[in-house]
Every structure is written in structure tokens, then in C-alpha cells.
Amino acid sequence: MNKRGSSISVLDFGATWYEYRLARHDQTTQNVLLNEPDIAHYLNNPFYLGATIGRVTGRIKNGRFTLGGKQFQLQQNEGATTLHGGPHGFAYLQWEGTILSTDEGDNYLQFSRQVDQSLDGFPGTMTVTVTYSLSEDDIVDITYQAICDTDTLFSPTCHAYFNLNKDNQDIRNHDIKSNAQFVEALDEEHVPNGILAPIDNDMYDYRNFKNVGQAIKSIIDSNHGAGIDDTFLTPAGADVTIRDQESNLTLQTTADRNGVTIFTANGFTPTMQTNKGAGKPFLGIAVEPHILSNAINLEGFGNMILKAGVNQTYHARYHVSEGV
């Protein structure tokens, strides 16, 4: 909790971001994340609510890649595809949690874990820490750090779903803005096929604020999916803004990766019992910065290789503030 009275909470299962509660000008507090009050949900979390994703975010074609001349076959968890690190990805691990604080009063929640090839199929024994900090002006910074004894892959993200509404409405009343100019084209298994499609005044053009409901509708109307579920090229780092004019809140996401997936919770089911009621499509929006999906199998899509002995750090920042 910071001095303003805003707070975050994170579960040690899945290093899952559970709550982001803002102190509002009207003296109330408002949580802007979707969560499931029943912990049992997180043991089988098909939509990765709040979870930390790794070692690799997104889809790897056939769960297969070549590194250092050797072919690796990962466990597949979506047909032939490996999604979000596979069945024993970061989201499904128990992490070691610590609360840290500095003299300045900053608050940190740190989660550590070792993973090895026998667990998740990726090469090498890797030590990972995920650190959440909340600043005095309500910025949440998530720092991912990893080091491995062999060359491996590392492309983590945060799978939190935001809903800025005060009530239980879905996010179709929100607006989205992003300067992305290309989107990853997908094959029939929803895996990026190596084509970056230019965005030009179409359903993916969010260079000016666009109503999220409108964006979802144009994707559905043109048979491009059940809502937004796409990965955008962000060469200068992810920079996505979501705002809700009704609740007068704006979320800004920035990160140091070349891609960001926007996912509008298409396919949420009523078996989910969230803090915003039973699950339904569009109940939340996830903004997931990472290295472009399937980059390890594609030319020019970014580098997710972590070299042996190198300490790699990535950041993702989420900032919800009053005003639109």
C-alpha cells in the first residue's frame, strides 16, 4: 500500500497479480483487475487470469524450435501448439514470495523460482524473479529477471485483465489507443505465420482512440475472430492506453518489448465466478507486452533467446490514473 492508500496484491501461486486497488479522489477505493475470489480457480486457469506467463508468452508452432543446432520439442497444451509456456508454465507454479521495502517507503513484492528442463521442456535450469512494485503515484512496475545455465528462451508477460468500470459492465464502453502499425497475421491454429500485416484505417487501427466495442464488432463482422486477440508490433516498446470515460480512469501500459497482445477475454465462460460476476466475453481486457509470438521460428520477429549466464531484465509498467 502506498501513502495515497492505493494497494496491490499478488498471489504466490502463478505469481498472479490479484488486485490493483486505487485510492480515488472521491475517497473510495476501486480495484481495476479481474480476479476470482476462490483460489481453486487458479489451479486450472485456462484464461490465465492475472498470471505471470513464461518461459515464453504466446504460441510456439508445434511446440518446436531449434536452438544451437538442437531441436527441442515442448509439451503441447493447445492442440499441436505450446501456449504461454505449456502445461507447466509460470502460471501453474508455486513461487517463493517475499515482501521488500526501501527506506523511501517503496513497496516491492518479489517472487522467485527455479525451473528446469524436466519441468517445462525448455533447455536449461533457469532462476527467475518477478518483482511487483507500487510507486507513490500508483504506477505498478513489474520487473522480470532471469539467468540460465544454458542458452534458452525467455519472453515473460503479465496476463492481468483490466476492467475500469465501477460497476459490473464489460469493457466495451472503454476506448483504446496504440501507435502500432503492424499486426501479426495468424495461421489456422492462431499461430503467427511470419507475415506482419500493415494497419491502415481498419479494424486494428487504434492510432486515435477507438471505442473497444466498435473494434470488437468490426473484427467479428469481418470474420477475423470473436473479439480482439491479436499481437501488435511495437518496435519502440509497447505503449497502449485504455480509458473509460464513465469511471474517468485511464490505464497506460508501457514496456521494453517489440510486441503486445491485446485480448478482450473472448470466450470467457459463465463457469468463472469473478469479482465482476459470472464470466462472459469482454469482461476484461489484457494488455500483454512480450517479444512477438513464435519469434523463435520466424525471421526478423525479435530475439527471445537468453544466452547462458546472461542476466536478462524486462519491465512492464501499468498505470491507472484519474482523468481521461
Residues that bind ligand BGC (CB under 6 A): 47-48, 229, 261, 263, 288
Closest to ligand BGC by CB, 120 vs 229, is: 229
Residue type, 293: S
List of residues 6+ apart from 47 with CB closer than 8 A: 161, 265, 267, 268, 272
Q: Please give the angle made by the CA atoms of 22, 25 and 31, to the nearest 5 degrees.
A: 20
Least distance CB 251 / ligand BGC (angstroms): 17
User: How far apart are CB 309 and ligand BGC at their closest, in Å?
Assistant: 30
Query: Could you tell me the smallest distance in angstroms from the CB atom of residue 268 to ligand BGC?
Result: 9
State which residue, 47 or 144, has the beta carbon closest to ligand BGC: 47
Smallest distance, ligand BGC to C-beta of residue 183, A: 12
Q: How far apart are CA 163 and CA 113, in angstroms?
A: 30
Q: Which is nearer to ligand BGC, 123 or 279 (CB)?
A: 279
Least distance to ligand BGC, CB of residue 142, Å:
16
Q: What's the CA gap between 32 and 285, in Å, rounded? A: 11
**What is the grid cell recorded at 91?**
502460471
Name the residue nearer to ligand BGC (CB basis): 4 or 88: 88
Please enumerate in sequence order all residues whose Cβ is within 8 A of that of 240, keeping only pairs 6 or more positions apart, or say none: 176, 177, 178, 252, 253, 260, 262, 287
**Inter-CA distances, 185 with 80, 216, 228, Å:** 18, 17, 13
Residue 296 to residue 303: CA distance in whole angstroms: 7
Instruction: Tell me how far, at minimum, the Cβ of 225 lies from ligand BGC, in Å.
Output: 9
Q: Which is nearer to ligand BGC, 131 or 157 (CB)?
A: 157
Kindly tell me the burial class for residue 140, based on how many C-beta atoms sit within 10 Å of its own C-beta (0-12, 13-18, 19 or more): buried
Q: Which is nearer to ligand BGC, 18 or 48 (CB)?
A: 48
The residue nearest ligand BGC at its CB is 47
Query: Nearest approach, Cβ of 47 to ligand BGC (angstroms)?
Result: 4
Nearest alpha-carbon partner for 240 in 189, 177, 297: 177
Q: Which is nearer to ligand BGC, 131 or 261 (CB)?
A: 261
